[in-house]
Structure 1
Amino acid sequence: MSGLLALLDDVAAIAKVAAASIDDVAAQATKAGAKAAGAVIDDAAVTPKYVTGFDADRELPIIWRIARGSLINKLVFLLPAGLALSAFAPAAITPLLMLGGCYLCFEGAEKVAHVLGVGHHEDETTEAVPDDPAHLEEQKISGAIKTDFILSAEIMTIALAAIPESTFWMEAATLAAVAVLITVSVYGAVGLIVKADDLGLLMAAKGRLDVTRRLGRGLVAVMPKVLTTLLVIGTAAMLWVGGNIILHGLANLGFTWPYNQIHHAADVVVHGLDRGRAAAKWILVAAMDGVLGLALGMVLIPIGTRVITPIWQRLKRLNPVV
C-alpha cells in the first residue's frame, strides 16, 4: 500500500511538472508571438488578395490550403532550421534577425512609397494569368505559400530570439506553439474577413427584419475600410518592428549609440510628466523606431527593386520551381 501511495505521489509530482512546463510554453509562446506583431499583421493584411476573383465557395478551401502550407513551412522547414541555429550557430541569429528586420523595413517603406506615388511599382502584367480557374487557383496558392515562407521565416526567427535561454525541448515546444498559434490566428482572421462580405450580402438580401438588412448593408460597406485600416496598421507595425530589430541587433553587436540616443531622447521628453510616463516613453520610442525603419526602408527600395528583384525574376525564369 505504501508503495502504491509513493507511486501516486510520483505521478502527481510529474503531472505538476508537466503542467508547469505547459504553462511556461504557453507564456513564452505568447511573448514570442507578440514580438512578431509586424509580420503577423502584414500576413493577415496580404492574404485576402489571394482569394480575390474566385467564387465564394472556393474562398475558404483556398485559405485552408494556404494555412496548411504555412503550417508546413513553419513546422517542417523553419522550426528545425531555427533549432539547429540555436544549437550550433547562435551567433548567426542576430544577423539573420537583422536581415529580416531590413526586409520588414523594405516592405513597409515600399507600401508608403506606393501610397505617395513615388518609387518603383511592380508590373503585374509581366506574368501571364491562366484561363483555367483550377490552374489559376493552384498558381495563387503556390504564390501565397511562397510569400508566407518569407513572412514565416521572419516570425520564427523573431520568436526564436525572444525565447529565454532554456532546454532544447522547451525551445522546440515554444516554437511549435508559436507556429500553430500564429497560423490559426492569422488564417482564422483572414477567413472571417473574407466571408464577412458574403455574410453582409446574405443579411441584406434575406434578412427578415429591417435592422438585420441594414446591419448587412453596413457590414458590406465597412469591410473595405477594415481592410484599409488593417493595411495601415500592418505597415506601421512592420516599420516599428523592423526598426526595433535593427536597433537591438546593432546594440547586441556592440554598436549601442543609436539605441541609447533614442531612449535618452524619449526620457528627456517625458521627464516632466506626472502620469503615464512609461506609456508615453513606449509610444515615443516606437514612433522613433518606426521613423528609423521608414528611413532605412527608403534606402533599401532601390537595392531591392533594381538589384535583388531582377536577380530573383531571372532565377524564376531559369527554374520555375523557385
Structure 2
Amino acid sequence: MSGLLALLDDVAAIAKVAAASVDDVIGQAAKAGAKAAGAVIDDAAVTPKYVHGFAAKRELPIVWKIARASIFNKLVILLPLAMLLSVFAPWLIPVFLIFGGAYLCFEGAEKVWHWLRPHPDPVEELAKKKMSAEDSAHLEEQRVRGAIKTDFILSAEIMTIALAALETDSLWFRAAALAVVAIGITILVYGAVAVIVKADDVGLHMASNGRLGATQKIGELIVRGMPGFLKGLTIVGTAAMLWVGGSIIVHAVAEIGWHGPEDWIHDVAQNIAGENGFGNWLVKAVIDGIGGLVLGLLLIPVVQKVIGPLLRAVGLGGEAEEAH
C-alpha cells in the first residue's frame, strides 16, 4: 500500500512539473507574442481588404483559405527554420529582425505617403465593376495567392520577433512556445478578421429583420460605424507598424554592437519623463515611431525602383503588389 501511495505521489509531482512547464510555455509565448504586436495589428488591419468587392458568401471561405495557409506557413515552414536558425546561426537573428523592422517601417510609411498623396485604389475601382462568375473566381484565386505571400512575410516577422523574445536555452521549450505563438496569433488575427468582414452583414440583418427597436438601432449603428472602425484600425495599425518597426531596429542594432541610438533614446526619455514609467515608454515609442517613419519614407523609392522590379523579374512581385 505504501508503494502505491509513493507511486501516486511521484505521479502527482510529475504532473505538477508538467503543469508548471505548460504554464511557462504559455507565459513565454504570451510575452513573445506581445512583442510582435505591430506585425499582428498590421495583419489584422490589412487582411479585410482582400475580401473587399466579393459576394458576401465568399468572404469567410476566402478568410479560411488565407488562415489555413498562414498556419501551415508558421508551423511547417517557419517554425523549423526558426529552430535551425537558433541552433546553428543565432547571430543572424538580429539581422533578420532588422530586415523585418525595415519592412514594417516601409509598410507604415507607404500608408502615410498614400494618405498625403491620394491616388485611386485599385481594389476600390475593382469593387465598382461587375464581374462574371469566371472573372470573380479568377480574381479570388489571385487575391488569395497575393494575401498568402503577404501573410508569409508578416508571419516570418512574427516568428522571428517571438524567437528573439524567448528567454530559454531549451530547444524544445522554444519550439513549443513558438508553436503556441503561431497557433494563438493565427486564431486571433483571422478570428478578428472574420468578425470584421461579417460585422456589416450582421448589422444589416439586425437593422432589417430585428423584432425590437433596440435591435434595429444597434444594427444601424454597426453598419454606420464599420467604415469609421476600419479607418481607425488602419490608423492604429500604421502607428503600431512604425513604432514597433523602429523599436525592433534600434534594439537589433544594439544587439549587433551599435548601442548609440538605443542609449540616445534612453537619455532623451529620461530627460523628458524622468522615472515616470508610462511617460518614459511614451517618449521612446514616439521617437521610435518617428525614426520608423523617416526610414520607411527613405525606403519607398528603393523598393519602387530597385527591389520591386527585381521581384517582378523573378515572378514574385506582381500578384502580391496588386493584392496589397
TM-score interval for Structure 1 and Structure 2 normalised by the shorter chain: over 0.9
CA distance in 1, matches of 2:318, 2:235: 35
Please give the residue correspondences for 1:66-105 in structure 2 after superposition, counting only pairs within 5 Å: 66-105=66-105
Aligned partner of 2:266 in structure 1 is 263
Of 253, 256, 270 in structure 1, the residue corresponding to residue 256 of structure 2 is: 253
Aligned partner of 2:199 in structure 1 is 196
- How many residues matched? 315
Aligned partner of 2:111 in structure 1 is 111
| One-letter amino acid of the counterpart of residue 204, structure 2 | L
Q: Is the 8 A contact 1:203 1:215 kept in 2?
A: yes
CA distance in 1, matches of 2:104, 2:317: 27
Aligned partner of 2:128 in structure 1 is none
Aligned partner of 1:161 in structure 2 is 164
Please give the residue correspondences for 1:198-237 in structure 2 after superposition, counting only pairs within 5 Å: 198-237=201-240
- Residues 172/318 of structure 1: CA separation in 2 closer, same or farther (3 Å cut): closer
Aligned partner of 1:19 in structure 2 is 19
- Residues 208/319 of structure 1: CA separation in 2 closer, same or farther (3 Å cut): closer
Q: Which runs of 5+ in 2 are unaligned?
A: 126-130
Secondary structure of the residue aligned to 2:169 is coil
CA distance in 1, matches of 2:315, 2:5: 66
CA distance in 2, matches of 1:270, 1:150: 36
- Tell whether 2:44 aligns with 1:41: no
Deviations 1:51-109 (A, max 9, x none): 11222122112111111110001000000000000011000001011110011111111
- Tell whether 2:236 aligns with 1:239: no
| One-letter amino acid of the counterpart of residue 294, structure 1 | L
- Tell whether 2:7 aligns with 1:4: no
Q: Is the 8 A contact 1:114 1:121 kept in 2?
A: no
User: Aligned residues: percent identity?
Assistant: 58
Q: Which runs of 5+ in 1 are unaligned?
A: none
TM-score (norm 1): 0.92
TM-score (norm 2): 0.92
Secondary structure of the residue aligned to 1:132 is helix
**1:2: how far off?**
2.4
**1:166: how far off?**
2.5
Q: Is the 8 A contact 2:312 2:318 kept in 1?
A: no
Q: Is the 8 A contact 2:51 2:59 kept in 1?
A: yes
**1:3: how far off?**
2.3
| One-letter amino acid of the counterpart of residue 214, structure 1 | K
